[in-house]
Amino acid sequence: MLSRQVCAKLSERSSGKNSVWGTADIMHVDIIEDFKKLREVRATWDAIYDADPEAHLFVSWNWIYKWFELISYSTFVLAARPDESSDYVAFLPLWIKTKERKKNGDLYHVIHMGGNHFADYNGLLCRPGFEEPALTAIAERLKQMNWAQLQLQDIRMSDSRLALFMKAFRRKDFEVEEKTSDVQEGIDLNICPSAQLPGDWDAYLDTKLSANTRQKLRRLLRQLESAKDLRITHADAKTIDTDIDILLRFWTNRWGNQKGDRLASILENNRKMLRHAFDNDALFLPVLWQGDTPGGALGIYLDKSKKSFLSMLGGRDPAFKGPSPGLVLHAYAIRHAIQSGFTLYDFMRGNETYKYSFGVDDHRVKTVILSTKNKKNLGDRLDKRCLSVVTWRTVQNYRNGAIANAENGCRQILAIDPQNVDVLYILGRILAERGEAAEAMAVHETLQAAGPNSYKPSFLLGRTLELRGDFAAAADAYAKGIEREPEEADGYFDLARTLVYLRLFELAIAAFDTVAELVPNYRDINVTRIKATKAKDRQSLEDLARATAATAGFSERIGRIKAIAKAVARNRPKSAAPLVLEWNQPKGPERPFTFARNAMPTAAAVKPVRKG
């Protein structure tokens, strides 16, 4: 991936009486797509993070970098600066996903905030004083990209910043959906309680809590410190992996059933991010024990720049016989945060009742979804960052029989990548199978020029010839393709099918067996092989002789293909008597030819006999 630079000359658009800033103001927006460039801007990123009063852990460089390493989608950062010689003043981390409309197979893109699907909060970074030009430039750059939907999910951003960003997306051009609440099981996940911490534990108890809660927490902590069988440990280098296991096991017991098929990936991502935080001295993981039995655990991220404890994950054993694990652990963690000089304890998303015992104030996140009016990508084009994904999806559509969707995908891809060998191959097959031979041959010519060293032009030629009924030429084309790429199952399957038409059943069965070795669950392989086997068993020697004679020009080539030769030898019964075909030549004596099962006669067979 390469880093591209785009200059958003917003001053040209805003010059004159309605200019928001002077005509000399030009904001450059770079697209950072590779990790090397991302590492190079770390110092600038960290400096903006420290200076930005709206920054939070989930837009920190350390967190974003690791998260981008983990996810499989195309990630990038929009980075704004006043001019090419200046440092960056704003960063917006994002990733892009490809989706398909079921109705017509249209491929389109959704751009997500960088931490989507994991982070409790999303947002951007901006150096104070540059909000208006930087956010406007970033928004304008987004409008130049190819997407059908922009999801600003769980954004934690001031109203003034959000308004600056949203000003570029006029409602006459975009559909705007705003979600200010997300209620699940009676819990509003858009409400995020947090407690401001004074510099002293007693001051926190006296000024932030009710008398009843104050007494309860003091009693619980005294009980913890005095009881011989109760203790709280902190994860260290020796215990971190075990402690993470305990935490995730307790969390799964409470929430796992609600996560369905996503549970495994959720646990894996949490495990890796927790370990990453620990390795960077940014994790506090206390575990409550009764003897040798764990009763509860908390996973708390540490943001030393913003002096915040972020309670991301928690769990307890419902059978625990001691004091309430959640209440004890949060009280303990808050006291530890105060003693360590932190000033905020963030309970994160969700307005669960217990959080309000700890003297919290609410702040909110919201979700804003921007969609194009016609539901198509801006510019009606695909994003080149997603070419590998859309190509894979299109190939799978073809393999699964969704031909209309596959063809639509092919044409969308070729509009931005006209030399895409994989897609030209699929489109050519679709056209050939629809009977549009001339169009398929035109695609074949383009494919041959785009991939002269690829096996796919030969396979496409074979398929086109096969569908025109020229089975001998088709088989020869397939064989040429297999010689170029002997590990491609599709070529053997197509060759086998063509050999069945030519009534060369033994070679066809060998080709089908090769397909099964390469891809054991290949579509229809068992059915087609059984049909070929039954046809071979019914075939007369006279018919075999005629088929052999008719294909003498290329059948030896097929028999020499290594995988097919091995399968023929393996399939031939060891005790079987050799099959001898005799024929007359215009000159010379009559002589026998032994059919060796991996080769074919090279003259017209006229008199098959069995000897021995």
pLDDT of residue 17: 31
Residue 602, pLDDT above cutoff 60: no
pLDDT of residue 571: 87
Distance CA 168, CA 50 (A): 28
CB 188 within 8 A of CB 181: yes
CB 95 within 8 A of CB 32: no
Q: Which residues of 84-94 are buried (b: 16+ CB within 10 A; e: fewer)?
A: eeeebbbbbbb
Instruction: Kindly report the CATH class assigned to 383-575.
Output: mainly alpha
**Number of CB atoms found within 10 A of residue 281's CB:** 8
Q: Which residue has the higher pLDDT, 104 or 261?
A: 261
pLDDT, tens digit (0-9, with 9 covering 90-100), for 160-199: 999 999 999 999 999 999 998 899 889 999 999 999 999 9
Residue 577, pLDDT above cutoff 80: no
Residue 224, pLDDT above cutoff 60: yes
Tell me, which fold does domain 4-171 have in CATH? Aminopeptidase (3.40.630)
pTM value? 0.83
Distance CA 542, CA 160 (A): 87
Residue 486, pLDDT above cutoff 60: yes
Average pLDDT over residues 389-407: 94
Angle CA 168–172–174, to nearest 5:
65
Q: Which residue has the higher pLDDT, 598 or 115?
A: 115
Q: How distant, in Å, are the alpha carbons of 247, 502, 523 from that of 324?
A: 16, 78, 56
Nearest to 598 by CA among 570, 550, 563, 560: 560
Q: What one-letter code names the amino acid at 147?
A: W
Q: What one-letter code names the amino acid at 414?
A: L
Calculate what percentage of the chain has a pLDDT beyond 90: 81
pLDDT, tens digit (0-9, with 9 covering 90-100), for 232-248: 999 999 999 999 999 99
pLDDT, tens digit (0-9, with 9 covering 90-100), for 545-570: 999 888 877 777 888 899 998 998 88
Who's near 255: CB < 8 A, 6+ residues apart? none
Distance CA 366, CA 190 (A): 6
pLDDT of residue 590: 38
Residue 596: pLDDT band by 50, 70, 90 thresholds? very low
Residue 226, pLDDT above cutoff 90: yes
Please write down the HEC assignment for all residues of 214-259. Answer: HHHHHHHHHHHHHCCCEEEEECCCCCHHHHHHHHHHHHHHHHHHHH
User: Considering the chain, what is the average pLDDT of its residues?
Assistant: 89
Tell me, which fold does domain 191-364 have in CATH? Aminopeptidase (3.40.630)
pLDDT of residue 523: 85
Q: Which residue has the higher pLDDT, 539 or 598?
A: 539
Residue 574: pLDDT band by 50, 70, 90 thresholds? low
Average pLDDT over residues 405-420: 96
pLDDT of residue 307: 98
183's tokens = 């209620």
pLDDT of residue 576: 52
Query: What is the separation, in whole angstroms, between the first and last Cα of the chain?
Result: 68
Residue spans of the domains in the chain: they are 4-171, 191-364, 383-575
Q: How distant, in Å, are the alpha carbons of 52, 139, 168, 370, 475 from that of 165?
A: 17, 6, 6, 12, 60
State the helix-helix crossing angle for 211-226 and 325-339, rounded to 10 degrees: 90
pLDDT, tens digit (0-9, with 9 covering 90-100), for 252-297: 998 888 888 999 999 999 999 999 999 999 999 999 999 999 999 9
Residue 438: pLDDT band by 50, 70, 90 thresholds? very high
Domains 4-171 and 191-364 equal at CATH topology level = yes
Please write down the HEC assignment for all residues of 472-512. Answer: HHHHHHHHHHHHHCCCCHHHHHHHHHHHHHCCCHHHHHHHH
DSSP bridge pairs for 233: 287
pLDDT of residue 575: 56
Residue 588, pLDDT above cutoff 70: no
Q: Which of 182-186, 399-403, 468-472, 606-610 has the lowest mean pLDDT?
A: 606-610
pLDDT of residue 583: 41
